[in-house]
Amino acid sequence: MNPANSEAAAAEKARHKDKKQKRKKRKDAIEDNCGAAAAEEGTPHEKKKQKQRKDGGEWEEKPTVSIAVAGSIIDNAQSLELATMLAGQIARTATVFRIDEVVVFDSTPASENGGTGDGEESGARFLVRILEYLETPQYLRRRLFPMHKNLKFVGLLPPLDAPHHVRKHEWSEFREGVTLEGDRSKGTLVDVGLNKNVLVEQILEPGKRVTVAMGTNRDLTTACVRKVVPPSTPQGRDGILLGL
């Protein structure tokens, strides 16, 4: 064998071995830290999706896509049920086309901004309420949304089935949750829609929606302390989160 070819093959083998060891080391760190390592570093898939290559060879953050919707679109609906269905169609369309942010602006005069005198909401406020409700995973809605007359017909809307609407039997590296009351000597308990609540290291006030890095360790006992991360962290998932 040619000495040059032999050296090249040995170098390639060494690089492959080193890469394999790094992957194993990172996997072990994720399992040991219950997802904390993944929350801080981000998975390779996340980093690949977060950044895109420019023509000059540099890397830049992947841009987000936003849409603006006038709240007055709701004013054309002839009933509360039709207004709810219209808001649901907007939410569904934004989900299908992977819109990162929905901006609702109020195009009504300032004197009418608060709605009518009988307590009715303006079209913009109504639309925001419905979109926020639909964007929230189903297992969190009862805790985060008190009863309101404008939510009367939301049960007629089909689920968005957005990527962050993870089902109870599914495991995801990140899950949306809400903080609970209780002993905070070791951290904060969070309801993430599983059989058991999980413990996060941060001390947070109850009733707050958070994004929890779950990692790959499926231990749900309090011995496995997880970490709350910014909502923008789970960029590696297929799909988007609606932002209002």
- What pLDDT is recorded for position 152? 95
Band of pLDDT at residue 46, cut at 50, 70 and 90: very low
- Residue 210 pLDDT greater than 80, yes or no: yes
Instruction: Summarize the confidence of residues 38-64 as an average pLDDT.
Output: 52
Average pLDDT, the chain: 79
| First-residue to last-residue Cα distance in the chain | 64
Instruction: Summarize the confidence of residues 53-65 as an average pLDDT.
Output: 60
- What pLDDT is recorded for position 233? 81
Residue 88 forms part of a structural domain: yes
Residues 137-163, buried b or exposed e (16+ Cβ, 10 A)?
Answer: bebbeebeeeeeebbebbeebeebebb
Residue 235 forms part of a structural domain: no
Residue 134 forms part of a structural domain: yes
- What pLDDT is recorded for position 154? 95
* C-beta neighbour count of 59 within 10 angstroms: 11
CATH number at residue 100: 3.40.1280.10
- Residue 32 pLDDT greater than 90, yes or no: no
Give Cα 55 distance to the centre of its chain. Answer: 30
Residue 152 forms part of a structural domain: yes
Per-residue tokens: 215: 């990692």
Per-residue tokens: 21: 């060891």
Instruction: Please give the Cα distance from 151 to 241 (Å, whole number).
Output: 21
Radius of gyration of the chain from its Cα atoms, rounded to whole angstroms: 23
**What would the pLDDT profile of 86-126 be if each residue is shown by its tens digit?**
999 999 999 999 898 999 999 877 545 555 555 678 999 99
Residue 241: name the closest of 132, 135, 88 by CA.
135
Among 3-7, 128-132, 212-216, which range has the highest average pLDDT? Answer: 128-132
Count of domains observed in the chain: 1
Instruction: Please give the Cα distance from 47 to 52 (Å, whole number).
Output: 9
Instruction: Please give the Cα distance from 163 to 175 (Å, whole number).
Output: 10
Which amino acid, one-letter code, is at 167? Answer: R
Q: Quote the crossing angle between the two packed helices 80-96 and 123-135, to the nearest 10°.
A: 50
- What pLDDT is recorded for position 19? 66
Residue 193: name the closest of 210, 216, 206 by CA.
210
Contact 193, 166 (CB under 8 A): yes
- What pLDDT is recorded for position 243? 45
Instruction: Please give the Cα distance from 87 to 243 (Å, whole number).
Output: 15
Residue 144 forms part of a structural domain: yes
Residue 47 forms part of a structural domain: no
Per-residue tokens: 163: 């990527």
Residue 125 forms part of a structural domain: yes
Full domain range(s) for residue 117 = 66-156
**Residue positions counted in the chain:** 244
- Tell me which of 24 and 142 has the higher pLDDT: 142
Collapsed DSSP state (helix, strand, coil) of residue 53? strand
* Angle made by CA atoms 189, 191, 193, in degrees to the nearest 5: 150
- Residue 34 pLDDT greater than 90, yes or no: no
Residue 25 forms part of a structural domain: no
Instruction: Summarize the confidence of residues 201-230 as an average pLDDT.
Output: 89
Residue 102: name the closest of 82, 125, 132, 61 by CA.
132
